[in-house]
Amino acid sequence: MEKQFQFENFAKLESDERKKMIPAKMILDKLNIKPNDRILDFGAGIGYFSIPALEYLGKDGKLIALDISSNMLDELKSRLDNNIDTIDFIVSDGSKIEIDDNKIDKIFIAFVYHEIDNRTALINEFMKVLNSDGEVFLLDWHLVESPFGPPLDHRIDKNIVIQEFTNLGFELVNSELINDFQYFLKFKIK
């Protein structure tokens, strides 16, 4: 809870600085989203990535926006047209993800992993909901001082993240530095 990004600060998630530093579509293009994909945006916040991701999906695709904060998801909903049915919402802390097993093609988790208390439980849940070709795309903050972002002692070195996923049945496919402060990792099931 203490590490959790607070709803009151949601405007930071769509600030002009952020749009410049990490354009949503520049990241989403790396996901190779197919029109029929079922994507879980874990810790979706107000939908900085979820909303543009909908443009990649066809009528049979689905994006599930999950967040621990119903306030965040309400903000996200307020940014959508009422008639969009390619998006569903789940309020959860990730200890149990209420999605049938093997149903998800891609999990996207951006700037959330360092806020999670029980990361082992979360990775195990990811393993359950993903299908056998499933992929995880994880963005987070480097363990270096930066003029913005979470405190240094909340951040997780990317090698630790890689170790945690590979210990629990995933394989690293790609590791990139998005900029001086943020990394991008792609995993698939071994």
Query: Tokens standing for 163?
Result: 């170790």
Which listed range, 68-76, 99-107, 127-135, 157-165, lies at the site for ligand SAM (CB under 6 A)? 68-76
Return the residue of 68, 123, 130, 136 that touches ligand SAM, per CB under 6 A.
68
Kindly state whether residue 182 participates in binding ligand SAM, applying the rule CB under 6 A.
no
Q: Which of residues 115-134 bind ligand SAM (CB under 6 A)?
A: 115-116
Q: CB of 142: closest distance to ligand SAM in angstroms?
A: 15
Identity of the residue, 93 or 105, whose beta carbon is nearer to ligand SAM in the bound complex: 93
Kindly state whether residue 185 participates in binding ligand SAM, applying the rule CB under 6 A.
no
* Number of residues in the chain: 190
Identity of the residue, 96 or 160, whose beta carbon is nearer to ligand SAM in the bound complex: 96
Angle at 177 between CA 174 and CA 181, to 5 degrees: 140
Which listed range, 96-104, 107-115, 130-138, 174-182, lies at the site for ligand SAM (CB under 6 A)? 107-115
CB 36 within 8 A of CB 11: no
Question: Based on C-alpha coordinates, what's the Rg of the chain?
Answer: 15
Dist. CA 38–CA 88, nearest whole Å: 11
Kindly state whether residue 110 participates in binding ligand SAM, applying the rule CB under 6 A.
yes
Dist. CA 52–CA 182, nearest whole Å: 20
Return the residue of 53, 54, 57, 69 that touches ligand SAM, per CB under 6 A.
69
- What letter does residue 36 receive in the DSSP assignment? T
For the sheet containing 104-110, what is the strand order? 87-91, 62-67, 38-42, 104-110, 130-141, 182-189, 170-177
Kindly state whether residue 48 participates in binding ligand SAM, applying the rule CB under 6 A.
yes
Return the residue of 56, 111, 137, 165 that touches ligand SAM, per CB under 6 A.
111
Dist. CA 144–CA 47, nearest whole Å: 26
Name the residues that contact ligand SAM, by CB under 6 A.
Answer: 4-5, 13, 43-45, 48-49, 67-69, 72, 93-94, 110-112, 115-116
